[in-house]
Structure 1
């Protein structure tokens, strides 16, 4: 079982913001891109080139938990968070070998309420199988790989009642922690949508951090911004995205 070496310290809202923005890349599926209306898929070859680009620039992809722990120690300026949303089965088959080949880690956000299911929330595009219990255990047993929660059923948390919100946050954490036999530190908001109510629910559920996409006015370890990475992101586009993210994103408070 892979567990980050240093636990994430409790959020301290009195700490000053870090000097530079965290750079966290958002992936989804790794496989055939020929039918991809939502642009959630990168080919294995493209992912290989992107990981190679990171390493050539002296950067290394790691899990979000490891990234935050390093930054809490005043280290990790050359670390990049790598995340894979939705828990597609191809993470184990296609992404994991490439991550290991390049000495990278990552966080995969899975749906414990949809084990062995498909991406039924996408009305267009091909059906993609999701990780099974064994697939999640295989990923969790790989050094450098962190398992995080994406909720139970991939629903917009800003539009649900209180009971559903608790189930999607606290309930999913309990199920996933039991499955992998270790505490789950990270959460990812489905669709990237987040409001203060969802942030409070995630924090109250015991998570150490949560990933969004563009959290708007929200800031801090429970509203981490990320950069979408897709099949069209060549070395030039990655350079621009990396540079613009550092310029446009304000420092994350409390980490």
Structure 2
């Protein structure tokens, strides 16, 4: 009887979510959604590739959601079949290309933005092409489309090398700025370059964030240093399936307790 109900609940044409990853949701890390031809960092996916990746999730009986929704579901024991979708840096192409595709597949996502670079570009990337970032209106529009707005710091610096004043501005200051900009509580943080240490985690905790995302934080892994899976242009269906099963080369599936031990449940 249970199997019959599960089969009826899946989207048409979907296959069951794999048992290997069913007990702990995984978190996908995206950046820009645009033409990936001129990108030495391999962090850009084309709209066509993102479309195919979201379709793959649907066929597997999975649905992409924001980190707030994922963490709330995990605390209630209802995260099976959910995947966290995160987009770092807050590129303007998130609105142009990612949001329409997310809506097509009934997904939401978290976009980590930089209130100190509103309407600017990715000046921190010396080799890649300049990519415009969301301005204040773009961030509000992303929120209006149902996406979670979270902080990626104020200006995208290496927080482990920042002095105490700069660290406070990047962590607590960015949260205050985004709260003023959106009129909503800002619950999440993402470490620029994925770099964190105990001092930086302490600053994130003191600033009142409920969770923070990293890349592969090792022994720091927990609600304030959640590991994520890098997803790029080369990730076709078979590579996605391999990454989901093994944790992939950059990041891994977080342990269930890393999600469920995060403080204070949220629902937005």
TM-score of the superposed pair, with normalisation by structure 1: 0.90
Query: Is the alpha carbon distance of 1:217 and 1:102 closer, same or farther for their aligned partners in structure 2, counting shifts above 3 Å?
Result: same
Which one of the candidate residues 130, 135, 151 is aligned to 2:138? 135
* 1:60 alignment partner in structure 2: 63
- Secondary structure (helix, strand or coil) at the match of 1:179 reads helix
- State the secondary structure of the residue aligned to 1:217: helix
The Cα shift of 1:208 comes to: 0.5
**Runs of at least 5 residues in structure 1 that lack an aligned partner in the other structure:** 1-18
2:237 aligns with 235
Distance 1:55 1:249 in 2: 19
Any runs of at least 4 consecutive aligned residues in structure 1 with deviations exceeding 2 A, and if so which?
19-22
Task: Name which of 226, 244, 247 aligns with 2:246.
Answer: 244
**Deviation sequence 1:42-94 (CA, Å, 0-9, x none):** 00000000000001100000001100000001111110000000000000001
**Taking structure 1 as reference, are residues 250 and 69 closer, same or farther at Cα in structure 2, changes over 3 Å only?**
closer
Establish whether residue 105 from structure 1 lines up as the match of residue 124 from structure 2. Answer: no
**Counterpart contact for 1:21–1:245, Cα < 8 Å:** no
Aligned residues: 236
Specify which of 89, 94, 99 is matched with residue 91 of structure 1. 94
Structure having the larger proportion of residues in helix? 2
Aligned match of 1:49: 52
Go from structure 1 to structure 2 and tell me whether the alpha carbon gap of 1:249 and 1:96 turns closer, same or farther (over 3 Å shift).
closer
1:219, distance to aligned residue in structure 2 (A): 2.1
Deviations 1:171-206 (A, max 9, x none): 000000000001100000000001111111011101
Higher CA-based Rg: 2
Q: 1:76-132: per-residue Cα shift (whole Å, max 9, x none)?
A: 111000000000000000100000001000000000000010100000121000001
Tell me the TM-score normalized by structure 2.
0.86
Q: Give yes or no for contact 1:63–1:82 (8 Å, CA) kept in 2.
A: yes
- Supply the distance in 2 between the matched residues of 1:124 and 1:250 (Cα, whole angstroms): 31
The structure with higher relative contact order (CA 8 Å, sep 6+) is 1
CA root-mean-square deviation: 1.5
SS in 2 for 1:80: strand
Distance 1:21 1:53 in 2: 19
Deviation at 1:245, TM superposition (A): 1.9
By how many angstroms is 1:250 displaced?
Answer: 5.8
- Gaps in structure 2 of 5+ consecutive residues: 1-21, 263-268
**Cα–Cα, structure 1 residues 34 and 197, in superposed 2: closer, same or farther, change >3 Å?**
same
Aligned mates of 2:104, 2:157 — CA distance in 1: 34
SS at match of 1:222: coil
- SS of alignment partner, residue 219 of structure 2: coil
Match for residue 148 of structure 2?
146
